[in-house]
A = this chain, B = another copy of it.
Amino acid sequence: MTSDKPRETRRALTLRDVSEASGVSEMTVSRVLRNSGDVSASTRERVLEAARRLGYVPNKIAGALASQRVNLVAVIVPSLSNLVFPDVLSGISAELEETGLQPVFGVSNYSAEREEAVLYEMLSWRPTGVILAGLEHTDAARAMLRNAGIPIVEIMDVDGEPVDSVVGISHRRAGLAMARTIVKAGYRRIAFLGTKMPHDHRARKRMEGFEAGLAEAGLELVDREFYSGGSALKKGREMTEAVLSRNPDLDFLYYSNDMIGAGGLLWCLEQGIDVPGRLGLAGFNGVDLLEGLPKRLATMDACRHKIGRIAARIVSGRSESGQIGGERIELTPQIQLGDTIRQA
């Protein structure tokens, strides 16, 4: 660069520049660039040629202000490093691709306050809709969502009161189903291993449902162990060792996610523990990773990609029901027994 102020120097191009370069009115240039209205082929060509030559990039800020339309969909998830959320996001992206809508991602780090802040920021760009994980929000966030006057879709979880539409699974029922399966398979001395995060509501609901399922059979959790941070695989090992040394007679370990479950599985196999004969194991999520383990960990598919697609469809107004809001779609996750629950 040779100029003194490399950044400030270059004024961004406007429609007017393209208009002057092509000898066509701003209005017509605008029409060409948006494929809106009828424009003669020759005019169209001249405009496109000029725009390309100049390297014109439209200013959507001005466009959005004038048209009161914004092709953005706000998406807020708790974390990106969870393996789970990238799947949801890819479902959303895939579905939105054909609609001209664009997802914009925000991360709340499992904090309701942070979520509120991110939401406020995103709503100030007047998106076409909002997709966010979970049903637990601050009161202020809820109020903002209600006042926004746009489609809101809460995803992943259906156990609670949605603001508008909701797409997900019942984590309570998921836990319940797993408990019943395990009991039916004959396991009796059962422990739960999960995240410590007080704000992982879905893991909490699974645990509650799980305990309810055990209670039906007159059982209680024999032990629990929680972790936070670090390599989940490693934590899975450590927690497994911890609970088994406290309670050597445990015969089942229910993990709140597949990663720690995988760690536990690896540890058990190294110890020569008979899985699933003497000890059964199960995780949650149905992540790809499990396919590469020595044994397939029992799990439940959380329907992540599908949830993303359906949510996106609702926001884009192409929901199958044709409904205009307030949809409630509960998917039913299937248990995959894998090789770590003995067959009844």
- Chain A interface (Cβ < 8 Å from any Cβ of B): 1, 6-12, 55, 57-62, 64-65, 70, 80-81, 86-87, 89-90, 93, 102, 104-105, 107, 120-121, 123-126, 143-144, 147-151, 230-237, 262-263, 266, 270, 288-294, 324-326
Contacts and interface: CB of A to CB of B under 8 A. Distances in A.
Nearest to A87: B81
A294 B293 CA distance: 12
Task: Specify how many copies of this chain sit in the oligomer.
Answer: 2
A191 to B, nearest CB: 19
Nearest to A121: B102
A325 B233 contact: no
Contact of A55 (B90, B143, B289): B143
List the 3 closest pairs (A to B, CB-CB), nearest first. A233-B292, A10-B149, A80-B86
A206 to B, nearest CB: 22
Given A60-B124, A233-B288, 10 more contacts: A12-B148, A61-B65, A61-B126, A81-B87, A230-B288, A230-B291, A232-B288, A233-B293, A234-B292, A266-B292
B7 A144 contact: no
Given A61-B126, A107-B93, A10 B55 contact: no
A10 B64 contact: no
Contacts of A8: 149
A1 B326 contact: yes
A233 to B, nearest CB: 3
Contact of A104 (B104, B124, B144): B104
Contacts of A237: 292
Contacts of A151: 7
20 contacts: A6-B324, A7-B149, A7-B325, A10-B149, A12-B148, A55-B144, A55-B147, A57-B124, A57-B144, A57-B148, A60-B124, A61-B126, A80-B86, A86-B86, A93-B107, A230-B288, A232-B289, A232-B292, A233-B291, A234-B288
Nearest to A80: B86
B147 A59 contact: no
A266 B293 contact: yes
Contact of A291 (B10, B231, B324, B325): B231
Contacts of A291: 230-231, 233-234
